[in-house]
Structure 1
């Protein structure tokens, strides 16, 4: 479970969470600020994440709210939570009101965060290798491939899906672990839950029970 949580935590929280802007360089007043590419975003993961955790593991382990706060502060602005939640809802997104979609996005993100946050504390520098990019960037969907090394020496492929938002920023919205999309995986589970209790019922469960609801959804799907 610890290894699985580590992989999922790195996968779900690392992309975009550690976006480090390039050092400013002299430029003409009319020049637009440089925008980090998806590759550059992910390449900053190992050093930035290690710097954020090293020396603070014991403190963060004892104070989960502080750990969640660290994740929210560095990650949330760079993850397209609204777009991801619409994909997770699938066809049910059309049935939901704008307010319900907004509540679902927040409740789902909070549930994921609380479930896998502690896995980040097992992260060590050098455990993620960013692979060379292939082809030109595509504004609608660009993949960044990485390999995550586990404690036993095995490696797992983790790919990050990015899209360019209307303001020109690259944001992560999906993670593919060993060929399995986090969006696709949760979409099937969410679909089953909505069929049973409706969108409002699922949102209320996520808001009230968070990570426990995700655990039950996965157990039901497996059983």
Structure 2
């Protein structure tokens, strides 16, 4: 299996990240917000903006990507996502390589979310959140959700970590039994074994450039 088969997993996860449930706004890093409220706020703000703006509702991918960058990224920790997806290879990468990997992997994930949201911008998808029972002092939790689209229902899980400042950040997604980080870790390891860390940076950079030129 090559990484080319893997890349669509991110957009599939984004399909689940659409909600029309209305709730009070929760800002990134809100120390009072429960994990499920933070997940809800992260996805609700993005889809609400996309549906309200004529350009994004019409499918302008560049502007949809901008919405994801501005409104969704603050709720995430893709630096941690990148580090865990790299596994042991992260420790052998130079600070410059680590920065490049973070930037390129984040770009891949953001664009994947944007592509999926562009496809779903006019659909009536509902999102149900299961309250999380957070133990005292817990720093890592999973928010279980149900995505309902007409008669179809799908379970999506989100993993969050409590940041040093105290708020929760999304850093992994589980869809159809596969955690995003685990799947990418295997593919990244294969590329690093063949071409080194520079080879992975080159692959991600080339992939992102190709995707940008195709749209």
**Fold conserved (TM > 0.5)?**
yes
Matched residue, 1:26: none
- Say which one has the larger Rg: 1
Q: How does 1:61-100 map to 2 (within 5 A)?
A: 61-100=58-97
Q: Which runs of 5+ in 2 are unaligned?
A: 1-8
**What TM-score, normalized by structure 1, do the two folds share?**
0.75
In the superposition, relative to structure 1, how do residues 192 and 77 fare at CA in structure 2: closer, same or farther (>3 Å)?
same
Matched residue, 1:130: 129
Q: Distance in 1 between matches of 2:135 and 2:124?
A: 29
1:56 to 33, 53, 57: 53
Q: How does 1:53-202 map to 2 (within 5 A)?
A: 53-56=50-53, 59=56, 61-121=58-118, 122=120, 124=123, 126-136=125-135, 139-150=138-149, 153-202=151-200
Query: RMSD of the alignment, in Å?
Result: 3.1
Q: Which runs of 5+ in 1 are unaligned?
A: 23-32, 214-223
**What TM-score, normalized by structure 2, do the two folds share?**
0.77
How many residues of Structure 1 are paired with residues of Structure 2 in the alignment?
197
Matched residue, 1:20: 25
Of stretches 105-114 and 117-126 in structure 1, the one that deviates more from structure 2 is: 117-126
SS state at 2:88 partner: helix
Matched residue, 2:3: none
In the superposition, relative to structure 1, how do residues 61 and 6 fare at CA in structure 2: closer, same or farther (>3 Å)?
farther
Highest RCO, 1 vs 2 (Cα 8 Å, sep ≥ 6): 2
User: What's the CA shift for 1:95?
Assistant: 1.0
